[in-house]
Amino acid sequence: MNVTVAVDCMGGDHGPSVTVPAVLAFLRGHPGAHAILVGREEVLTPLAGEALAAPGGRLRIHPASQVVGMDEPPKSAVRAKKDSSMRVAIDLVKRGEAQAAVSAGNTGALMAIARFVLKTLPGIDRPAICFALPTVKGHAYALDLGANPECTAEHLLQFGIMGAMLASALDHIERPTVGLLNVGAEEIKGNELTKQAAELLRQSSLNYYGYVEGDDIYKGRTEVVVCDGFVGNVALKTSEGLAKMLTTFLREEFMRSPFSKLMGLMARPVLRRFRHRIDPGRYNGAVLLGLRGVVLKSHGSADAFAFEQALARAADAASNRLIERIGDKMAALAGANGECA
């Protein structure tokens, strides 16, 4: 793996105290990878320590004087923060000095900057946010999870292509199954958008499965699940809220009485394995798909373990030629439709 990842070290709820240790752990686990720490040099240098001087030159700092605020409007981030750690990390991808950028900062700003600097791939109207959700069979890639609250059927087709190529790149599945999220599995179910999108997906060269329902996501019915950004965002956040409520209830039951506390203590190794299995940190790293470069968004509250997962996923996507795969598929689609690629 000969990949360089540019890391926005200043973003996220915890900033460099989490991002820098995560990068060091990532480099230890990926011997062929390189990383560029982007942010305030005076903060990053002491945190990175001797790793900066290690043989092989796999780690360096690229200075950036500004930081994009977690609540900063995307427009202002694009216009007024040209030397922000987020912007500089993406500039490094644009210039070819890095093959992927990772940030735990503000999603809207990251999407706006990435789109402004990198541009979308030919044939892609809008980038989408894609996330690997755990399923009983492993995981499924769902998109769009919030970038596009209003979509056309063509957008959903493009999401299907991007999601399938991501599954191919990260999981080495040749023809991943693609499901279209709907309110029922029967052909007559759904709204105008899903009916039109189903038609386009059926005609495409994708391995289109058909409609899937909300519960099919976690059943792992298909490897990719496509929906508009409004529905996807609601499904994702509803899931987060429910998972949090259920784990709270479980903890409360184990804290209710001295007996249940004792049980909780004794069953701790079992409960810990359960918690690890559903730990959202393991799935950290949403991919901003459709851009001319690999960009990953880490959860803002990610700890070092979770941020490291996002770095690993970014390096994996870049070294498995994610962007080229999407570009090739879009060119083939344009060719099949008799258009200029």
Binding positions for a copy of itself, rule: CB under 8 A: 134-136, 146, 149-150, 181, 183, 189-192, 213-219, 227, 229-231, 233-246, 248-250, 253-254, 256, 259-260, 263-264, 266-267, 269-271, 273-274, 277-278
Displacement of CA 236 from its chain's centroid (Å): 13
Cis check: omega of the bond before 83, within 30 degrees of 0: no
The Cα 123–Cα 158 span in angstroms is 8
Give the nearest distance from C-beta 91 to a copy of itself in angstroms.
27
Q: Which is nearer to a copy of itself, 186 or 328 (CB)?
A: 186
Q: Where does residue 239 rank: exposed (0-12), middle (13-18), buried (19+ CB within 10 A)?
A: middle
Q: Which is nearer to a copy of itself, 118 or 181 (CB)?
A: 181
Give the nearest distance from C-beta 254 to a copy of itself in angstroms.
6
* Cβ atoms of residues 156 and 230 within 8 Å: no
Strand order in the sheet with 59-63: 59-63, 34-39, 4-8, 100-103, 294-297, 286-289, 128-135, 138-143, 224-226, 177-181, 207-212
Give the nearest distance from C-beta 155 to a copy of itself in angstroms.
13
Q: Which is nearer to a copy of itself, 187 or 328 (CB)?
A: 187
Q: Which is nearer to a copy of itself, 55 or 269 (CB)?
A: 269
* Cβ atoms of residues 141 and 132 within 8 Å: yes
Q: Which is nearer to a copy of itself, 17 or 248 (CB)?
A: 248
The Cα 291–Cα 130 span in angstroms is 12
* Cβ atoms of residues 141 and 129 within 8 Å: no
Q: Which is nearer to a copy of itself, 35 or 130 (CB)?
A: 130
DSSP code of residue 121: P
Q: Which is nearer to a copy of itself, 13 or 324 (CB)?
A: 13
DSSP code of residue 296: E
Give the nearest distance from C-beta 21 to a copy of itself in angstroms.
28
Give the nearest distance from C-beta 255 to a copy of itself in angstroms.
10
The Cα 233–Cα 53 span in angstroms is 43
Q: Which is nearer to a copy of itself, 25 or 263 (CB)?
A: 263
Residue-wise DSSP of 138-174: EEEEEE-SSS-SS--HHHHHHHHHHHHHHHHHHH--S
Give the nearest distance from C-beta 48 to a copy of itself in angstroms.
35
The Cα 93–Cα 294 span in angstroms is 8
Give the nearest distance from C-beta 11 to a copy of itself in angstroms.
19
The Cα 143–Cα 286 span in angstroms is 10
Give the nearest distance from C-beta 73 to a copy of itself in angstroms.
9
